[in-house]
């Protein structure tokens, strides 16, 4: 079986972090922030896990060329960092005294990186011989 070890290890680490972040959101945030902001936090966790699973699948796929695997995983990682990461920080703005104006810009840019990752995956599958 042909797989990309670096990408699968990255996905496994990110999966672990996603579970830790999700557990913190489910248990640690309830006493700190409102129910509405917990819902936003859960959205960040959900999108992170969706993309971590896809990164893992891509890393194990012998049908997706190495170049596509690398670019898609890079786009997804930047997307996760900006999209989910900014949501996490926005939810905890009062705890960390963060200016959310900059973070509000990061969220849609992160979403754009996730979209670009999906488009790059589509392109890689179409041109794959």
Given this model, what pLDDT does residue 76 score? 98
Given this model, what pLDDT does residue 1 score? 54
Within 10 angstroms of residue 100's Cβ, the number of other Cβ atoms is 15
Residues of the chain with pLDDT under 70: 1
Segment 64-90, tens digit of pLDDT = 999 999 999 999 999 999 999 999 999
**Sign of dihedral through CA atoms 106, 112, 114, 117?**
negative
**Sign of dihedral through CA atoms 54, 55, 58, 59?**
negative
Q: pTM, whole model, 2 decimals? A: 0.92
């Amino acid at each position: 079986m042909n797989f990309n070890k670096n990408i699968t290890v990255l996905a496994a680490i990110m999966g672990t972090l996603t579970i830790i972040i999700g557990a913190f959101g489910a248990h640690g945030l309830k006493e700190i922030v409102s129910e509405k902001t917990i819902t936003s936090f859960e959205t960040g966790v959900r999108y992170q896990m969706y993309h971590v699973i896809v990164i893992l699948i891509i890393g194990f796929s012998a049908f997706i060329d190495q170049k596509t695997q690398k670019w898609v995983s890079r786009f997804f990682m930047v997307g996760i960092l900006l999209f989910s990461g900014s949501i996490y920080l926005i939810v905890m703005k009062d705890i960390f005294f963060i200016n959310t104006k900059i973070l509000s810009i990061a969220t849609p840019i992160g979403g754009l990186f996730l979209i670009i990752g999906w488009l790059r995956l589509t392109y890689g599958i179409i041109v794959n011989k």
